[in-house]
């Protein structure tokens, strides 16, 4: 997501392109901002109907704020939300009731709008935590419909079907001129944009994107999916409520129709036209729609039809939206920069701290573990002890229960019987809590966050260590800046070690299979685990990459970590491990040092089916 | 609560059941919740209004016209929805596409019948029939029977015909179905057509009695969706049961409390069921879409 300044050779065409492009874009942005700032003067000078044209821009800015909220939910949080118009409605009610019914200040009304929007979002999210993607969207739809119906029927409070009119922002008894309100809306739009940007680029935003891509992977990084979703959805709800409050102040009224899903379509159109999951996409999209609607003002009855067709055309022609398409166009995309193919992997960075473990206590221990799937006893009474400062191999034929054992140890599967201990203490129940206790796993199949950059993947692994709050990240406190800088430096160091330093700004999806596997290990190391579980990391790796992996495992062992290696590559395991546990049909059939295991008749029988081969082989 | 209210509930429930069935038919092979499904109902109502009320041509012509136009609508919808989903990799493509299609058709209907508040042709069979000491419109009885007939026919079709097996295979795994030689693209197209025809028939039957405004497609989609969720998304029999339950709930609450309370009860039921039973009351769990 974030663009990282790469060391370009000065004078190369690529760096010239980047410079010219960023200058052009900055000029364009500055021009737009200047026009927006001067807009009331421009309209005043050129038009008899200045208030109307100012109102159009103010309304578009308010719509942009709501679209930013939608972008946070859908683009960054991965949560299908159809209740943005309901947020707008409750925000509007908040201001209307405060100003008209209570006679309070409109500023207090806006604050109430934000709070009410946040509360509604939090409430909806809390009741629907179990719901998956599609059903979550449907619950938000139901919430939207309910809010509208409540607005229609709660007559004394909301004014029923008619709504509440006469909402005006006043200071000391006089109504604020529309011009000044225009600047207030612009300032709040800018503020919303900054909140969005800082939030998304902080650890909180990376956590949200991790949960969006895969809750399992996020949990393995110690990220708590429920809290993360709650935060994103709550922040988006607050922004939505703010937009609703501004809407009511701008229009002067609010009624239940504001909450209708039909009215929300314009925000969907804006988001997808501009580019979902991009920072400026919502603003550009809404801006374009405002222009379109204004251009076809003479044919107002065709507005819905035209917007619908624009949406259909946009999703077919530019599926990634304007910003997304620009980024992948020839001019818009970042030059990849020189990559060092033979990048010499350095030493294991000093940032991996030595683990101090009490002597004689297993880093990770499973006692009598049992896991059944129906009648299949996938893990059938396994005891395993993994000591700190060792590399522990777990091998076994396909289907013997290795990966299930890992899932049991890291609490991805609930156990039928048995106990898991982490450094002598009973392991917590939830996967993210196990990760927080110091046990990080790398999955068997690649589980990268494909759509974010290589660097951001590593940074996501550091989420557990981040001490700043999301609010601190949004206002960029010195503490946040310090930690962010330190994290980036450390992540680059880890990447250089893995030979991925020159690819830090690439999207993770652009890496080769072996690079992805290494990146996953690096990301796991970034969580600073005390026990690291690698599920078949060597599959598909080249000899060079294998060597790097082996070196990393040894280095981590020397720092006192417990490394668990689940592997098929026998040579790799035998050369690397201090101790090996062999599993067959969910039971341990052999354990000990590699040499012992290699000669065990039980192991040979499990793999080859014939114990007499031991004699023949020797 | 009188039996009248129950019959009224069953009647409007029949409409929701048919919309729910249309949704389920499209959902099964595509995993797409078609927000434009309700537009087919409006089409059915609009064509019968045009033929019966304006052209005075009789119901048989209307029936033929409704089937013909809804086949065209289904084909058009399939292209307009599936093409964007294929072309764009976005996980939200389906919802944006179906919402956009709903938007387009809604505004087309509104433009075509700009001065018509309700598309209401005369009933197919006028008058009332006496039933357990109560009177029920012939039209209402006809609609309930038609819904049952359509539901049974589709159920048989799904279970007995080769196409039905192809649909069920495609709904489990489109990729595997393709490998087995099932023309999934054609199955998907057929599903859109069948779904549109079923939903349009609902429009044809209910238009004489209930209020179908040119812009009310989305509302019917949502009510039908509620019915589908109650019955378990993707199960035709569940759709029937869910439809009747929604209709009863709506009508009973409406008559007991007030007009808006009916909608509220339905939407609240939707929320509660989604929260408590994330896979519907009678449905199998559906994996994350």
d(CA A49, CA A44) in angstroms, rounded, equals: 8
Q: Are A445 and A452 in contact (CB under 8 A)?
A: no
B246 interface with A at CB cutoff 8 Å: no
Assign A420 to helix, strand or coil: strand
Other CB atoms within a 10 A radius of the CB of residue A171 amount to: 11
Distances (CA, A) of A118 to A36, A74, A150, A236, B82: 29, 16, 18, 7, 36
In angstroms, what separates the C-alpha of A397 from chain B's closest C-alpha? 27
pLDDT of res. B234: 67
Instruction: Please answer yes or no on whether B271 and A143 come within 8 Å at the CB atom.
Output: yes
Q: Are A579 and A395 in contact (CB under 8 A)?
A: no
Q: In terms of DSSP bridges, do strands A417-422 and A174-175 run parallel, antiparallel, or are they unpaired?
A: unpaired
Assign A441 to helix, strand or coil: strand
Tell me the domain boundaries of chain B: 3-216
For residue A137, with 0-12 CB atoms within 10 Å meaning exposed, 13-18 middle and 19 or more buried, which class applies? Answer: buried
pLDDT of res. A157: 86
Residues of B in contact with A255 (CB under 8 A): none
Q: What is the phi-psi region of residue A359: left when phi exceeds 0, alpha when psi lies from -120 to 50, beta otherwise?
A: beta
pLDDT of res. B223: 87
Residues contacting residue A594 through CB under 8 Å, at least 6 positions apart: A393, A573, A574, A577, A580
What value does the mean pLDDT take over residues A75-88? Answer: 92
Assign A154 to helix, strand or coil: coil
Scanning B101-120 for CB atoms below 8 A from A yields 101-104, 106-108, 110-111, 114
Place of tokens 């589908």: B228
d(CA A257, CA A158) in angstroms, rounded, equals: 12
Of A134, A153, A312, the CB nearest to B33: A134
* A233 half-sphere exposure, CB direction, 13 A CA radius: 28
Q: Residue A580: which H helix or E strand, with range? A: strand A579-584
Other CB atoms within a 10 A radius of the CB of residue A561 amount to: 27
Of the candidates A524, A522, A517, the residue with the CA atom closest to the CA atom of residue A569: A517
A598-612 pLDDT, tens digit per residue, is 888 887 777 766 656
d(CA A130, CA A407) in angstroms, rounded, equals: 21
A585-605 exposure pattern, b = at least 16 Cβ within 10 A, e = fewer: bbebbbbeebeebeebeebbb
For residue A156, with 0-12 CB atoms within 10 Å meaning exposed, 13-18 middle and 19 or more buried, which class applies? Answer: exposed
Of the candidates A258, A112, A118, A107, the residue with the CA atom closest to the CA atom of residue A188: A107
**Is the pLDDT reported for residue A615 higher than 60?**
no
Low-confidence residues of chain B, pLDDT below 70?
A: 1, 126, 131-134, 233-234, 278-289
Question: What angle (nearest 5°) sits at the alpha carbon of residue A458, between those of residues A454 and A459?
Answer: 110
Instruction: Please answer yes or no on whether A315 and B114 come within 8 Å at the CB atom.
Output: no
Tell me the domain boundaries of chain A: 55-259, 261-331, 364-446+513-617, 449-510
B128 interface with A at CB cutoff 8 Å: no
A536-561 pLDDT, tens digit per residue, is 888 878 888 888 888 888 888 888 88
pLDDT of res. A389: 87
d(CA A74, CA A486) in angstroms, rounded, equals: 30
d(CA B207, CA B199) in angstroms, rounded, equals: 12
Establish, for the pair of chains A and B, how many residue pairs have beta carbons separated by less than 8 Å. 132
Q: Are A216 and A198 in contact (CB under 8 A)?
A: no
Residues of A in contact with B88 (CB under 8 A): 315-316, 319-320
Residues of B in contact with A261 (CB under 8 A): 218
For residue B46, with 0-12 CB atoms within 10 Å meaning exposed, 13-18 middle and 19 or more buried, which class applies? Answer: buried
**Is the pLDDT reported for residue A167 higher than 50?**
yes
Of the candidates A566, A571, A559, A569, the residue with the CA atom closest to the CA atom of residue A582: A566
A307 interface with B at CB cutoff 8 Å: yes
Residue A590 phi/psi, 5-degree rounding, is -160, 150
Of the candidates A326, A384, A395, A413, the residue with the CA atom closest to the CA atom of residue A531: A384
Please state the three-class secondary structure of A170-202 as a single string: EECCEECCHHHHHHHHHHHHHHHHHHHHHHHHC
pLDDT-wise least confident of A156-165, A363-372, A485-494, B84-93: B84-93
* A296 half-sphere exposure, CB direction, 13 A CA radius: 15
Other CB atoms within a 10 A radius of the CB of residue A123 amount to: 13
Q: Are A361 and A355 in contact (CB under 8 A)?
A: no
pLDDT of res. A337: 62
The rounded Cα B39 to chain-centroid distance in angstroms is 9
For residue A119, with 0-12 CB atoms within 10 Å meaning exposed, 13-18 middle and 19 or more buried, which class applies? Answer: middle
Q: Are B137 and B124 in contact (CB under 8 A)?
A: no
Tell which of A271, A300, A302, A316 to mutate to test the B interface (max B CBs under 10 Å). Answer: A316
The most confident of the ranges A60-64, A144-148, A472-476 is A60-64
Q: Are B20 and B266 in contact (CB under 8 A)?
A: no
Q: Are A448 and A520 in contact (CB under 8 A)?
A: yes
Q: What is the largest CA-CA distance in chain B?
A: 59
Residue A395 DSSP symbol: E
pLDDT-wise least confident of A127-131, A408-412, A433-437, B129-133: B129-133
Q: Residue A55: which H helix or E strand, with range? A: helix A50-70
Q: What is the largest CA-CA distance in chain A?
A: 102
Q: In terms of DSSP bridges, do strands A439-442 and A531-535 run parallel, antiparallel, or are they unpaired?
A: parallel
Question: What angle (nearest 5°) sits at the alpha carbon of residue A272, between those of residues A268 and A276?
Answer: 105
B5 interface with A at CB cutoff 8 Å: no
Determine the residue of chain B that is closest to A319 in CA distance: B88
Q: What is the phi-psi region of residue A542: left when phi exceeds 0, alpha when psi lies from -120 to 50, beta otherwise?
A: beta
Tokens of B214: 């040119």
Q: Are A64 and A269 in contact (CB under 8 A)?
A: no
Distances (CA, A) of A145 to A583, B55, B218, B248: 55, 38, 12, 19
Residues of A in contact with B267 (CB under 8 A): 142, 145-146, 149
Residues of A in contact with B229 (CB under 8 A): 138
A300 interface with B at CB cutoff 8 Å: no
Tell which of A134, A147, A150 to mutate to test the B interface (max B CBs under 10 Å). Answer: A134
Place of tokens 């949406």: A311
Residue B180 phi/psi, 5-degree rounding, is -80, 5
Q: How many separate helices (H) and strands (E) can be counted in chain B?
A: 11, 2
User: Which of the two residues, B135 and A531, has the higher pLDDT score?
Assistant: A531
pLDDT of res. B278: 66
Residue length of chain A: 618
d(CA A558, CA A551) in angstroms, rounded, equals: 11
pLDDT of res. A288: 92
A296 interface with B at CB cutoff 8 Å: no
pLDDT of res. A336: 64
Tokens of B202: 């609902």
A93-104 pLDDT, tens digit per residue, is 999 999 998 888
In angstroms, what separates the C-alpha of B58 from chain A's closest C-alpha? 32
For residue A41, with 0-12 CB atoms within 10 Å meaning exposed, 13-18 middle and 19 or more buried, which class applies? Answer: exposed
A293-348 pLDDT, tens digit per residue, is 899 888 888 888 888 888 888 888 888 888 888 888 877 777 666 666 555 555 66
Q: Are A411 and A430 in contact (CB under 8 A)?
A: yes
Distances (CA, A) of A467 to A24, A482, B200, B285: 38, 11, 58, 39
CATH of A364-446+513-617, one of 3.40.50.300, 3.40.50.1820, 2.60.40.740, 3.20.20.70: 3.40.50.300
């Amino acid at each position: 997501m974030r663009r990282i300044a790469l060391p370009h050779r000065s004078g190369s065409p690529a760096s010239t392109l980047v410079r010219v492009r960023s200058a052009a874009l900055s000029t364009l942005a500055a021009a737009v901002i200047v026009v927006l700032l001067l807009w009331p003067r421009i309209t005043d000078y050129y038009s008899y109907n200045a208030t109307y044209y100012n109102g159009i821009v103010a309304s578009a800015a308010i719509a942009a704020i709501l679209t930013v909220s939608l972008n946070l939910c859908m683009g960054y949080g991965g949560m299908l939300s159809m209740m943005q118009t309901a947020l707008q409605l409750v925000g509007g009610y908040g201001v209307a009731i405060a100003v008209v019914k209570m006679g309070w200040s409109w500023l207090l009304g806006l604050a109430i709008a934000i709070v009410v929007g946040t509360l509604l979002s939090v409430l909806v999210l809390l009741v629907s935590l179990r719901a998956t993607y599609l059903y979550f969207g449907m619950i938000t739809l139901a919430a939207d419909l309910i809010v509208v119906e409540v607005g229609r029927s709660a007559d004394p409070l909301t004014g029923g079907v008619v709504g509440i009119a006469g909402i005006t922002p006043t200071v000391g008894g006089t109504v604020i001129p529309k011009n000044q309100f225009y600047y207030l809306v612009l300032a709040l739009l800018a503020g919303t944009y900054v909140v969005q940007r800082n939030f998304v680029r902080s650890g909180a935003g990376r956590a949200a994107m991790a949960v969006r891509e895969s809750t399992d992977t996020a949990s393995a990084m110690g990220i708590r999916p429920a809290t993360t979703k709650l935060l994103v959805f709550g922040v988006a709800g607050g922004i939505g409520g703010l937009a609703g409050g501004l809407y009511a102040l701008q229009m002067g009224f609010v009624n239940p129709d504001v909450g209708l899903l039909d009215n929300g379509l314009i925000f969907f159109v804006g988001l997808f036209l501009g580019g979902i999951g991009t920072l400026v996409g919502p603003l550009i999209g809404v801006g374009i729609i405002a222009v379109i609607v204004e251009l076809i003002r003479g044919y107002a009855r065709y507005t819905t039809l035209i917007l619908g067709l624009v949406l259909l055309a946009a999703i077919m022609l530019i599926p990634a939206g304007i910003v997304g398409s620009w980024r992948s166009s020839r001019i818009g995309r970042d030059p990849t920069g020189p990559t060092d193919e033979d990048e010499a992997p350095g030493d294991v960075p000093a940032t991996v701290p030595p683990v101090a473990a009490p002597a004689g206590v297993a880093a990770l221990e499973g006692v009598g573990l049992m896991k059944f799937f129906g009648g299949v006893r996938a893990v059938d009474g396994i005891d395993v002890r993994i000591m700190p400062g060792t590399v522990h191999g777990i091998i076994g034929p396909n289907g013997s229960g290795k990966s299930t054992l890992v899932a049991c140890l890291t609490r991805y599967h609930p156990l039928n019987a048995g106990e898991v201990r982490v450094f002598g203490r009973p392991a917590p129940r939830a996967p993210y809590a196990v990760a927080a206790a110091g046990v990080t796993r790398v999955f068997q199949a690649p589980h990268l966050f494909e759509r974010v950059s290589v660097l951001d993947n590593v940074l996501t692994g550091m989420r557990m260590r981040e001490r700043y709050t999301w609010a601190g990240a949004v206002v960029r406190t010195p503490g946040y800046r310090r930690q962010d800088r330190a994290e980036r430096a450390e992540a680059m160091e880890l990447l250089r070690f893995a030979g991925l330093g020159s690819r830090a700004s690439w999207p993770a999806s652009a890496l080769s299979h072996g690079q992805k596997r290494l990146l996953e290990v690096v990301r796991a190391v970034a969580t600073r685990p005390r026990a690291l579980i690698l599920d078949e990391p060597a599959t598909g790796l080249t000899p060079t990459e294998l060597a790097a992996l082996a070196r990393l495992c040894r280095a981590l062992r020397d720092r006192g970590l417990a490394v668990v290696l689940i592997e098929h590559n026998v040579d790799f395991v035998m050369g690397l491990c201090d101790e090996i546990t062999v599993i067959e049909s969910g039971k341990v059939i052999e354990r000990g040092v590699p040499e012992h295991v290699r000669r065990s008749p039980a192991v040979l029988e499990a793999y080859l089916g014939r114990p007499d081969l031991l004699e023949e082989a020797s | 609560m009188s039996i009248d209210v129950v019959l009224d509930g069953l009647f409007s429930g029949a409409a929701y059941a048919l919309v729910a069935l249309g949704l389920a038919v499209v959902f099964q092979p595509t995993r797409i919740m078609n927000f434009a499904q309700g537009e087919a109902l409006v089409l059915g109502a609009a064509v019968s209004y045009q033929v019966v009320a304006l052209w005075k041509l009789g119901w048989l012509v209307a029936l033929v016209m409704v089937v013909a136009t809804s086949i065209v609508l289904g084909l058009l919808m399939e292209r307009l929805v599936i093409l964007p989903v294929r072309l764009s990799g976005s996980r939200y493509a389906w919802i944006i596409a179906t919402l956009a299609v709903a938007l387009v058709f809604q505004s087309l209907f509104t433009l075509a019948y700009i001065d018509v508040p309700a598309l209401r042709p005369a009933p197919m069979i006028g008058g009332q029939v006496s039933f357990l000491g109560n009177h029920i419109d012939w039209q209402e009885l006809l609609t309930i029977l038609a819904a049952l007939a359509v539901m049974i026919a589709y159920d048989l079709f799904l279970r007995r015909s080769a196409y039905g097996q192809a649909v069920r295979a495609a709904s489990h795994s489109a990729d595997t179905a393709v490998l087995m030689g099932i023309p999934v693209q054609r199955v998907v197209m057929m599903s859109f057509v069948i779904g549109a025809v079923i939903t349009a028939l609902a429009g044809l039957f209910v238009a004489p009695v209930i209020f179908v405004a040119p812009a009310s497609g989305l509302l019917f989609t949502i009510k039908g969706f509620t019915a589908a969720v109650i019955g378990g998304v993707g199960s035709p029999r569940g759709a029937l049961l869910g439809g009747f339950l929604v209709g009863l709930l709506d009508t009973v609450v409406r008559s007991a409390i007030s007009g808006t309370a009916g909608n509220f009860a339905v939407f609240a039921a939707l929320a509660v069921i989604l929260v408590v039973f994330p896979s519907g009351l009678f449905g199998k769990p559906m994996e994350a879409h």
